[in-house]
Amino acid sequence: MGKVSIGLRGWRFDEEEVFTENGEYRPMDDMDEDTRTRLFRLSALVGSPCHACWLIHGDENITMCNVMEVVYGEPLAEVGVCSDHETDFLYWYFEEGGDRFRGEEELQDEFLEWFADGGRAPDGYEGMEHVDTDPDDLPEPPEADQSELNVDLPEEEQERIDLRDVDMSREYPK
């Protein structure tokens, strides 16, 4: 068994950590905490709008946004992009120094600030080649315990942040 992406490209899982030999999902209690957290988070991300499209179109034109196809970063600080904007993320990450935020919560904010400030991959930038094998041939995931979906913040501390209201010219603490 090897590495697999589930639902969205990007996050890769050890196949034997997630699936039994029969190809069914393992019970969540049998998975390590990071795998569980990422799988729960994926259930919330699949079908969500691309972060870059959302910056362009906003909530009022959300129907114009493409759906996320790829996820990079850490849960709750991830960058989710469509295939049209994946090259922008990869360019920022590999060519503009975004890799210095690998594994850090700042990855999402730093990419979105760069993108909102007009950062884009140059025409012809190829990015990365992906190989999809049987992308629709996955078993149904186990039911998530809703209390585990809010990984870090108690409900009273959670809030929706509208990035269009953030002053990108201001120096924010890191």
What pLDDT, in 10s, does the model give residues 72-113? 999 999 999 999 999 999 999 999 999 999 999 999 999 999
In a domain, 146, yes or no: no
- 44-48, 77-81, 149-153, 156-160, range with the lowest pLDDT: 149-153
pLDDT(117) > 70: yes
The percentage of residues in the chain with a pLDDT greater than 70, rounded to a whole number, is: 72
pLDDT of residue 126: 81
In a domain, 130, yes or no: no
Q: How far apart are CA 80 and CA 53, in angstroms?
A: 10
Q: How far apart are CA 151 and CA 171, in angstroms?
A: 28
Q: Are residues 38 and 90 in the same domain?
A: no
Q: Are residues 120 and 108 in the same domain?
A: yes
Give the side-chain half-sphere CA count within 13 A for 36. 17
In a domain, 56, yes or no: yes
Q: Are residues 53 and 115 in the same domain?
A: yes
pLDDT of residue 172: 42
In angstroms, how far is CA 82 from the centroid of its own chain?
Answer: 10
- Supply the range of the domain harboring residue 101: 47-124
Q: Are residues 75 and 112 in the same domain?
A: yes
Q: Are residues 13 and 60 in the same domain?
A: no
Which of residues 124, 139, 167 is at a domain's end? 124
pLDDT of residue 2: 84
Q: Are residues 40 and 51 in the same domain?
A: no
pLDDT of residue 173: 46
- Tell me the whole-structure pTM to 2 decimals: 0.71
pLDDT band at 142 (very low <50, low <70, confident <90, very high): low
In a domain, 107, yes or no: yes
In a domain, 159, yes or no: no
pLDDT of residue 137: 56
What pLDDT, in 10s, does the model give residues 123-140? 999 876 655 555 555 555
Q: Are residues 19 and 53 in the same domain?
A: no
Total count of domains within the chain: 2
CA distances (Å), origin 171, targets 78, 113, 156, 167, 168: 21, 11, 27, 9, 8
What pLDDT, in 10s, does the model give residues 35-82? 999 999 999 999 999 999 999 998 889 899 999 999 999 999 999 999
In a domain, 5, yes or no: yes
Q: Are residues 42 and 64 in the same domain?
A: no
Q: Are residues 116 and 59 in the same domain?
A: yes
Average pLDDT over residues 3-26: 91
